[in-house]
Structure 1
């Protein structure tokens, strides 16, 4: 070790306080980088495990393959595990106690399928050969038949087919509920074949079975050697390596072997950071780059401040080295050497602190998450070699970047200037000149405070830089988290209820009784009764959604008498539910229940998937104002209610019997009394070209009973135990009711939102703590270096009151200057983030004014606190001792 490095080490040991402050600042920075990297990896790991637990582990699905195609998939170099599955079909369930679930649904897997998919055995064993089957405990409880292990089942298995000629439907699957019109079943089973099964075990109800599915799931074994050539089946593949080229590789394999349909498990793959959506890919990488840049800049700022103040404090020491022959290179290397020493101490400690902090956080929030949403998996600290290497590399690069400027500055300082310490202090009249208005308005203390800042511009700039970076960190991350949540909500289905009970309007006398019975159930937490129907409203061209205006320009024939025909989804709420909803959005309940001049609430904001641009978008459904009138009409057509269900919430669909009719029935009009973007329970977006209208049940009856327009009654519920509540309601029901349980879909959405909130708000807290530590470190160290300056002011007669006043003005100047730079720069970063998100989403840039106000208040509070804390420590110093003190 050369003599300069030895002297540097000795100087670090002698100046323990400054060394400890520098090390702490660096540790905080390394801990931040480590915590962010670990948080991201751990969060993605949780979502991977939770998705696998809910839906099974597979990456690529080849549909309807034959034996030769299956062999090609097996031999593919990327295939790690192969699951063969087939939907064998439906059979009638003897003695079914659930009218909406009259079938058994048989699904077949090979042995690998029982490992890759979440199948939980409760008793017995899993199938090991053809014609063996396991049935769900739910099925056993839903039939009058007493099923036992070893029982033989002779089933007539077939396909579901529609019997009503007016009803058109494609292939009916488990995602489609039992088809009923006016309480009558309009489907049957066709192409039936007799199959004998032996029950070998019982399983828990499969989590992938929709609660509204018409068949209870039975799982059997499929042996590929017994598959006939004409029997198509599905091949689900678990890949050896997950990389971006998997999409093109799978498609190429399908094309080569004439496989028509290839699907990807996008829900799981996205948690591995993989997507075949180019816009989403650009969004993810753009956001990652921006966030990483913000984090690195914040880390560099934190460490740079520590080293910049360190070099300023060591200036006399470096000057003494220069006076005895140290070269510029040696002085520069002295600072670099100090950075390496600090790095060797700080990086291991910082990584340990970051991991410990994340581990403690996970321990605290795991029970909260699992209790709130029933998440089966828990957050665990996932430490990968890559994340540690990245944290070490980023931290080391950050430290070297942070020491570069101080090192260059140290190498340029002459021996005389360094020993006299004149490099940082500017005493020229021009350098410390202040406006006469400062003294006139704020007094001499403010003028002295401003001159103090100007005379030591370097220290002042370091403090301002620290504040600006902290502001940018906080506002950028706050904006990022709020937009991440908004984007997540846009991409979800928006299901806001657990159970939907449909009732034909022919049985309206049972509505109130059913509502009271449902509300009385112990597990039910919220109930809303709602009538629904669909009508048309002709909307002025200027008021239609922006997305429709281009269509109108290209084809004026879509307008009728200069107006655009809007689909209106009308919901009539019961008085109690409407009162709660009206209070939430600030609507006048009296106007909503006025039958002479009916009022309505318009939901004027909707979210939808723009298929043309492959984006999730938020837009204005209609450009209206409070007080406008909305006319309702219906065509003189026969509307037929179709009760179909997919993965999303059931909704009303209509078909037209007589498309040649152009007669319209005038229903009436309503006055818009409120505009909102909040959807009440049970209401889903009507889509572009449609609008959701909320009225009172009395208004609904007046409008549509007089016009003899059919309406449909729905009961919406939230429950702490939706499956139990569904069973209780089904025990009460008769043929006029249909129950749909959307709990799983809603729970999946809420899990995503909550887990994302944990990630994002944890990020905010982390950045906030780092920012506060950064400001305190910078200001307290700066104040400590000004002991002689403060002692001089006291020695010439500055009173404690005047001294405190001066410090307060310094705090105000720091805060104002930092905000003048920090807020515009934060706005620029927010704009870049918004542009990145617009690759996949479409909504307006919303300036987070509340966060900006928080930042303004926090800056002044933190700066004042840091200044007062630091001053309290130096006040105890003796004036004579402080004047004699030298920073060596």
Structure 2
């Protein structure tokens, strides 16, 4: 039986090619993902180790043990640095201070957008005359005075800046002009990932990112023979209150762990889409082996007649599947390594990851092969079992071929039960405000499987609906319709492969359209302000920006939004400071009770209804607040409003919270102009702010378009990933049609003999392919709309402005895509059918 199975594989290589390709693509996606993520993780891990090569112990603030909101009151001073330098095991001590610093390129655009854009100090010793071993100078000299900076070599290469150039940059809003005095090299992981690191002299960095004489961290390097643990123990004895000592190894490990955690989301997403491709591949494999078994019915019956048992027949088919799965798994693994290497090379050329070798872990090889083999064998098990159950005499007479009425009834019953259970779960999940994701996911899975099981039943009425169109093609159209419904199980398996991909694509598009409209409505309903002003990466903005805008002749009202951490009823909360006298002109909140009146007095707040409900507050309720500096005050509720993702929380006048903030900074500034939002006004405001690339001046349309752009980028990425499932589905249609042409060779020969020309045969196969693909497309789009609606109902509980948006244009494109799949998939099978020798085909048994 083993020799028989192997001979079948080698005798029919062509008929298994499409099946192997389907498995190969899925395995390649899995192995490519694993190779790519392992390579990136390893590269960043090694980069982290290099970045902490000069750090054996770090002394830093420990906000986890400090009172809430009080961490900034435990600074690392020059005195602490001096004491650390005198530790017996310390070779050197370096004061570190860092923060956000946006650099503009020669065209005025932000450098490192989307990555880390930071500034730090060049620590040249207490006298300022030494060197900083962290940043060896490649060209020029280190910054020693205000107005001087040093750039990392990668940023200098990307921007074309050289020593002596003057650059424009920003730390918290106002534009700064600095002279480049040096270019340095670094192993910093953020720089390797495409970010920027601008160095200032020590005093300037302290003034910009902390306070004069203070540091955010102190790095210690151990003397030869002193371990990191020993140096940490020495440092622990002199730590100021609210600080901690951490070894360099732990810092590197923590950074690597953060990188891996950041990578896990991408890895999970890529593997999920690989799973979708493999899930689609299961249909093709099962369909292929069903047809292969049907073609070899007499052969298998003969084996049974000469003594082979049912188990041996099943085993022979599974051995054939094992060989196919192993070959496809090995090929997919090799292709995946190529994909991983290609992605690594592409990312490397973009300068968004550190250098490092391609990493192929043993687990990647094992997982890839296991996936290929297990998926293929499992998909082939049911056809193998079905083949073994056929009695030899019945198989010889081919009376087993049509599916029994009883089997179809059982299948339809199971499908109906699964579909009903899935639909009920999905509908129940839409009513759940919290915890509805798991039931909806389970319901969607059950419904998808149920529809797949029911597809043979659904195929007849849906394909029959195409009969009027098919009649236009005369005999070829009629034959195509009959062929499509002749074997409903085969048609179902083929159409389901396409259905799965289009279900996901349509569902995601429906959700994205609803979210986009919700954001548009939220912006228009919540804001009266013509513009919002913020930093490009949404870091704190200098109060000088709001003051500069307020002095503009074009501005009629402004309000900074200023976040201040505080404690209320033992819980940490954020108070949003606003301009109490102008905020009513800049927002359009839906107040259920009370309003803005009274907030400018400084003793009252307005609160969104959800926060008020959680706290048990009503209009007039009084509560005690403990500010960041430890001082306490009594506030009362002046109004309750319906919050949203754009504006929510506890809002109070700025003059109430600003005196208690360690460093005053705004998250955003709202501005209203005389002439409304126009391109001319926007350009004028940008010019008044120094044409700063780090500052965003946005009107409502800009906010909406920015979010739309993010959604479209995400959607395009998802479309690209789901294209894998569509490609696998195309292979399935080709496979089904090729096998169908092989099975119907005698019938096609007879049609040719009685007058159907080659063009008619081609048209018949193409129309059959088109009907099957459109059938899968209609099911996929229909299910996608349902799932999109259901997910939207779940989203609307947290995003109140969400409403269903049906993207008719895109759905039309998806249906056209399904038709294109059908046309392309039929090219080779149709050509093959037309070229059959009619006499040889008629004589074939």
> Which TM bucket (shorter chain)?
0.5 to 0.7
| Structure 2: unaligned runs, 5 residues or longer | 66-73, 100-117, 136-140, 150-169, 175-183, 187-196, 222-230, 409-456, 523-532, 556-578, 596-605, 622-636, 679-684, 696-706
Among 343, 346, 350, the alignment partner of 2:325 is 343
- Per the TM alignment, residue 412 of structure 1 is displaced from its structure 2 partner at its CA by 1.6
User: Which residue of the other structure, out of 27, 32, 35, is the alignment partner of 2:32?
Assistant: 35
Does the 8 A contact of 1:88 with 1:107 survive in 2? no
The alpha-carbon deviation at position 785 of structure 1 amounts to 3.5
**Partner-residue secondary structure (3-state), 1:231:** coil
Whole-angstrom distance in 2 between the partners of 1:210 and 1:312 = 79
Which of 86, 89, 96 is 2:77 aligned to?
89
Deviation (angstroms), 1:715: 1.4
1:411-560 → structure 2 map (5 Å cutoff): 411-425=388-402, 442-443=470-471, 445=475, 446-472=477-503, 474=505, 495-496=535-536, 502=545, 504=547, 534-536=582-584, 539-541=589-591, 548-550=608-610, 555-557=617-619
Tell me, in whole angstroms, the C-alpha distance in 1 between the residues paired with 2:819 and 2:185: 65
Asked if the contact 1:88/1:106 (under 8 Å) is kept, the reply is no
Task: Name the structure 2 match of 1:8.
Answer: 5
Structure 1 CA distance, aligned partners of 2:387 and 2:299? 10
After superposition, the Cα gap between the structure-2 partners of 1:768 and 1:410, relative to the gap in structure 1 and judged at 3 Å, is same
Mapping of residues 259-338 of structure 1, within 5 Å: 267-268=258-259, 270-271=261-262, 273=264, 294-338=276-320
The 1:558–1:713 alpha-carbon spacing in structure 2 relative to 1, beyond 3 Å, is: farther
Corresponding residue number in structure 2 for 1:792: 750
Deviation of 1:564 after TM superposition, in Å, equals 4.9
Q: CA deviation at 1:699?
A: 6.0
Provide the residue aligned with 2:819 in structure 1: 860
Is the CA contact (8 Å cut-off) linking 2:777 and 2:815 kept in structure 1? yes
Partner of 2:374: 397
Comparing 405-414 with 208-217, which one deviates more in the overlay? 208-217
Alpha-carbon distance in 2 for matches of 1:297, 1:439? 31
Q: Does the 8 Å contact 1:32/1:354 carry over to 2?
A: yes
Deviation at 1:478, TM superposition (A): 7.4
Q: Secondary structure at the match of 1:351?
A: helix
Gaps of 5+ in 1: 70-85, 92-104, 146-174, 180-200, 247-263, 274-282, 513-530, 568-603, 612-620, 622-633, 653-691, 702-710, 727-748
* Cα distance, 1:269 vs structure 2: 6.1
Shift of 1:422: 4.6
How big is each residue's C-alpha offset from its partner over 1:512-538, in whole Å with a ceiling of 9 and x where there is no partner?
9xxxxxxxxxxxxxxxxxx99942257
> Would you say the 8 A contact 1:37–1:391 is kept in 2?
no
Q: Who is 1:707 aligned against?
A: none
Q: CA deviation at 1:346?
A: 1.9
Contact 1:87–1:108 at 8 Å: present in 2 too? no
The CA distance in 2 between the partners of 1:178 and 1:348, in whole Å, is 55
- What is the 5 A alignment of 1:180-219? 205=198, 212-213=208-209
Number of aligned residue pairs = 612
Q: Residue 178 and residue 816 in structure 1: after superposition, are their counterparts in 2 closer, same or farther (change >3 A)? A: closer
Shift of 1:341: 1.6
Q: Is 1:814 matched with 2:772? A: yes
- Structure 2 CA distance for aligned equivalents of residues 351 and 816 of structure 1: 33
C-alpha separation between the residues in 2 aligned to 1:506 and 1:439? 68
The DSSP-based 3-state class of the residue aligned with 1:877 is coil
1:177 and 1:644 in contact (8 A); partners too: no
CA shift for structure 1 position 402: 0.9
**What's the offset of the Cα at 1:565?**
7.5
2:779 counterpart SS class: helix
* Inter-CA distance 124–425: structure 2 relative to 1 (3 Å threshold): closer
- Answer 1 or 2: which has greater strand percent: 1
CA contact (8 A) 2:645 2:799 kept: no
SS at match of 2:689: strand
Quickly say closer, same or farther: Cα 1:226–1:352, change in 2 above 3 A. closer
**Structure 2 residue 253 is the aligned partner of structure 1 residue 235:** no
Task: Check conservation: 2:45, 2:256, Cα contact below 8 A.
Answer: no
In angstroms, what is the RMSD of aligned CA positions?
A: 6.7
2:30–2:271 contact (8 Å) kept in structure 1: no
Aligned to 1:253: none
Query: Match for residue 146 of structure 2?
Result: 142
Q: SS in structure 2 opposite 1:142?
A: coil
TM-score, scaled to structure 1: 0.53
CA distance in 1, matches of 2:52, 2:649: 27
Contact 2:607 2:648 in 1 (8 A): no
Q: Deviations over 1:171-192 (max 9, x none)?
A: xxxx99799xxxxxxxxxxxxx
> Secondary structure at the residue paired with 1:326?
coil
- Distance verdict in 2 for CA 1:380–1:829, change over 3 Å: farther
In the other structure, the counterpart of 1:358 is 340
Change (3 A) 1:15 1:354: same
Contact 1:301 1:465 in 2 (8 A): yes
Q: CA offset at residue 335 of structure 1?
A: 0.4
* Match for residue 736 of structure 2 among 778, 781, 801: 778
TM-score by length of structure 2 reads 0.55
Partner of 1:409: 386
Alignment partner of 1:769 out of 727, 734, 756: 727
Q: From the superposition, tell whether residues 331 and 853 of structure 1 become closer, same or farther in structure 2 (CA, over 3 Å).
A: same
Summarize the Cα distance change of 1:831–1:365 in structure 2 as closer, same or farther, 3 Å threshold: farther
CA shift digits 1:489-512 (9 cap, x unpaired): x9xx98537998737459958999
User: 1:19-63, CA deviations, whole angstroms, 9 ceiling, x for partnerless residues?
Assistant: 434433332332233234434545666776788899999999996
Give the Cα–Cα distance (whole angstroms) in 2 for the partners of residues 647 and 46 of structure 1: 39
Paired position in structure 2 for 1:165: none
| CA distance, structure 1, for counterparts of residue 725 and residue 41 of structure 2 | 20
Aligned-partner SS, 1:301: helix
Q: d(CA) in 1 for partners of 2:514 and 2:665?
A: 24
